[in-house]
Amino acid sequence: MKVHFARTRVPNGASIVDTMIDRLAGQAEPQRHVGTADPAEADVILFPDCHLLGLDWRLTAIATTDLARRYPEKVAVYDERDVPWCRFPGIYVSMPSPCFDRTWQVAGSYYTIEDPTTRLDGGTSSIEQDLLFGFVGGRTHPCRDAVFALDADRAHVESTEGFVFYDPTSLHFAERRRNFAEIVFRSKFVLCPRGWGTSSIRLYETMAAGRAPVIIADEWVPPTGPDWSAFSITWPEGRIAELPRILAEREADAEEMGRRARLAFDSWFAPAVVLSRQLDQLEERLRPGGFVGFPSGGVKDAQYRRALVANARTRYHEVKAKVAGVVRR
């Protein structure tokens, strides 16, 4: 499959287009997909910068490009937004299961996943695995309130209010990222509750660290490929209080689950393979002539209404903050 990676109007330094081009060129053998600079000869025109389009939740910046107008049957997206809408076929990281349509959508992972080992200057050899389970994160979903309420021996649960893991300007950025990594490696199980989106990047970082993830996300759609039951525990959002007992009963399995988690990460989500794996699945959605039959204006379903409401709330809070700022001055 020939793929053309398309740009949108985002800051040059923020776009992941160049990274994707390089990754595809250096993918592990066999090379089933190739990049092309010519959209006319491409089988798929992939727009990967949806998460950088801010309040443009309808992806109008993509829909109005010359490429989307000339080749509508070829356009697809890689979309890692927390509240996505299926405006185009593509790879979706956090599309909720009630609205997930395998005809047009691939359940994807976050494209850039960092091995937590890189945050530790001295490596992991001196870190004792003394915790049954751990969690370090913010209150980005109601189910996390139940996580923070857990009271158990050999557990570390820590709130990080005001910290954004991908923003270097966050207070004590390096120190907090290092602390996160240390807690992961100290833990036999790592709790991975959903946040604003159904998915969580900590799930994949936990796998990269060789620890057993506990997935708490009722509407999360797992990416196809790995045998998730072999290395993870999927747990209902409404039964979080039971987890200390359940994990204590499974403690003897944790080491082997962690080993399998790392193997699954290397096979499906590591930088050398993740793009190729997900393009394999996107190719399966193609028909002769492209994504023929996809609604020209996007899928107007329940997720469309969710995204509409979420966007309206965001705009309301932004306007409120601006007004408050004017009053304070």
Per-residue model confidence as pLDDT tens digits over 286-313: 999 999 999 999 999 999 999 999 888 8
Confidence band (pLDDT; 50, 70, 90) for 172? Answer: low
Q: What b/e string do you get for 9-33 counting C-beta neighbours within 10 Å, with b at 16 or more?
A: ebeeeebbbeebbebbeebeeeeeb
Confidence band (pLDDT; 50, 70, 90) for 125? Answer: confident
In the sheet where 105-107 sits, what is the strand order?
34-35, 2-5, 44-47, 75-79, 90-92, 105-107
C-alpha–C-alpha distance, residues 291 and 220, integer Å: 25
CA 303, 304, 307, 313: dihedral to nearest 10 degrees? -120
> Taking a C-beta distance cutoff of 8 angstroms, is the pair 280, 32 a contact?
yes
Instruction: Examine the pLDDT at 321 and tell me if it is beyond 70.
Output: no
User: Residue 13: what pLDDT?
Assistant: 73
Confidence band (pLDDT; 50, 70, 90) for 318? Answer: low
**Two tokens at 263?**
């193997």
pLDDT tens for 231-261 read 999 999 999 999 999 999 999 999 999 999 9
Any idea which of 9-23, 125-139, 259-273 has the lowest mean pLDDT?
Answer: 9-23
Confidence band (pLDDT; 50, 70, 90) for 2? Answer: very high
Q: What are phi and psi of 190, to 5 degrees?
A: -120, 120
- Please indicate, yes or no, whether the overall pTM of this predicted structure exceeds 0.75: yes
Confidence band (pLDDT; 50, 70, 90) for 27? Answer: confident
C-alpha–C-alpha distance, residues 35 and 58, integer Å: 27
Q: Report the Cα 190 to chain-centroid distance in Å.
A: 17
CA distance to 21, 169, 180, 272, per residue, from 26 (Å): 9, 32, 30, 7
